[in-house]
Amino acid sequence: MMQFGESVPDNSENQWRYQLDRFVTENKQALAALAWGLKNEWENDQDVLGIDLEPEPHFIRCSRQSLDELNRNVEGKIQEVLGIVDNYNYNEEVAMIAINEGQIKLIYYQCEQSPSVFFDEENMSLDGLIEQLESTMKAIRWKR
């Protein structure tokens, strides 16, 4: 049964996902700005932004090669995730991968405006955005 709404999962495997969803919802524009800014800065456009929650939350750059290797190691179980990462339009959408204790979660949403508009509105450097968002993530008491 699938439930919708704000109910907090009672098992630890899903609590971090719930907390991550809330973080993304509360920081959608800043995350879109960061993802767009980094995508424009990186030379390899197949790389994707990631959030690694261990040992403490921080942003990482996930290369296509590392994602392909992970997919092979898990016998193709993240193929759908890779399909979205390969085909999203970073000028209109955000796609990121979150990693926690051997689990991954796709973060994917379409923006109301272009992420480039959010980047311009943030009026902050990429390093400043990273620092601000990582600080916010570190303040969350992640249930694992």
Reported as a single tens digit per residue, the pLDDT across 103-138 is 999 999 999 999 999 999 998 999 999 999 999 999
**Residue found by looking up tokens 């993802």 in the block:** 35
CB atoms within 10 A of CB 46: 13
Which stretches does DSSP call E strand in the chain?
A: 48-52, 58-62, 93-100, 103-110
Are 98 and 51 contacting, i.e. CB atoms less than 8 angstroms apart? yes
Are 36 and 49 contacting, i.e. CB atoms less than 8 angstroms apart? no
pTM: 0.90
Q: Cis ω on the peptide bond leading into residue 55 (within 30° of 0)?
A: yes
Domain locations along the chain:
12-138
